[in-house]
């Protein structure tokens, strides 16, 4: 019997994932392979199609962790701002106004550090989104090529319509 896989296994156990150390080696290998290799026959097209799908699968796991991390960091920015604002006291016993507290919360080094982490997380997610999009489009591209090869060369049509199948290359 196979081991049970839970959604939590994909999302990880930490609230803030170490996204800067996600291993994208396999994804980059797939992208380089897709860029440098031309499909020569049906089997080769299907291999490229599966490689693109595998790369997209790896990224999908990381994207889930990124969304979780971004949500956590956004909440952390707000709670840190609120904490700093509440704790702020004007120097020299001067009356502390709401504007002074708000300004202290927005300009705090603690808040700035969390905002930098959040910006990095959002930038990383954008990179992953674009790579995911490229891989999914590549998968569909190779799927279309494979379907075309099946129709023209092999005379096979998986469609249920009554359209005539093109003859192969004689």
pTM: 0.76
- Tens-level pLDDT at each residue, the chain (170 residues): 688 877 777 777 777 888 888 888 999 999 998 888 888 888 889 999 999 999 999 999 899 999 999 999 999 999 999 998 888 888 887 888 888 888 888 888 999 999 999 999 999 999 999 999 999 999 999 999 888 888 887 676 555 555 555 555 43
Is 54 a domain residue? yes
Domain that holds residue 82: 21-152
Residue 6 lies in a domain: no
pLDDT score for 169: 44
Q: Are 73 and 125 in contact (CB under 8 A)?
A: no
CA–CA gap between residue 12 and residue 3 (Å, rounded): 17
Judge contact between 17 and 65, C-beta under 8 A: yes
Helices 25-36 and 109-152, axial angle in degrees (round to 10): 40
d(CA 125, CA 117): 12
Contact assessment for residue 39 and residue 142, using Cβ atoms and an 8 Å cutoff: yes
Structure token digits, residue 92? 């020299």
Assess contact for 49 and 148: CB atoms under 8 A. Answer: no
Instruction: Work out how many domains the chain is built from and give that number.
Output: 1
Is residue 163 included in any domain, yes or no?
Answer: no
On whether residue 75 sits in a domain, the answer given is yes
Instruction: Identify whether 7 is part of a domain.
Output: no
Q: Judge contact between 111 and 75, C-beta under 8 A.
A: no
User: Taking the mean position of all CA atoms in its chain, how far away is CA 26?
Assistant: 14
């Amino acid at each position: 019997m196979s081991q049970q896989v839970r959604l939590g296994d994909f999302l990880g156990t930490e609230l803030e994932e170490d996204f800067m150390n996600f291993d994208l080696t396999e994804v980059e290998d797939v992208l380089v392979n897709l860029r440098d290799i031309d499909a020569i026959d049906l089997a080769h097209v299907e291999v490229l199609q599966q490689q693109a799908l595998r790369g997209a699968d790896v990224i999908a796991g990381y994207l889930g962790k990124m969304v979780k991390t971004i949500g956590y960091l956004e909440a952390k920015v707000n709670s840190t701002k609120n904490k700093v604002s509440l704790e702020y006291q004007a120097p020299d016993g001067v009356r502390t106004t709401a504007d002074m507290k708000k300004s202290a919360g927005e300009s705090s080094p603690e808040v700035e550090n969390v905002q930098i982490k959040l910006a990095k997380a959002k930038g990383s997610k954008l990179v992953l989104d674009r790579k995911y999009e490229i891989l999914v489009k590549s998968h569909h591209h190779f799927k279309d090529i494979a379907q075309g090869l099946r129709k023209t060369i092999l005379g096979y049509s998986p469609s249920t319509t009554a359209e005539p199948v093109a003859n192969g290359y004689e």
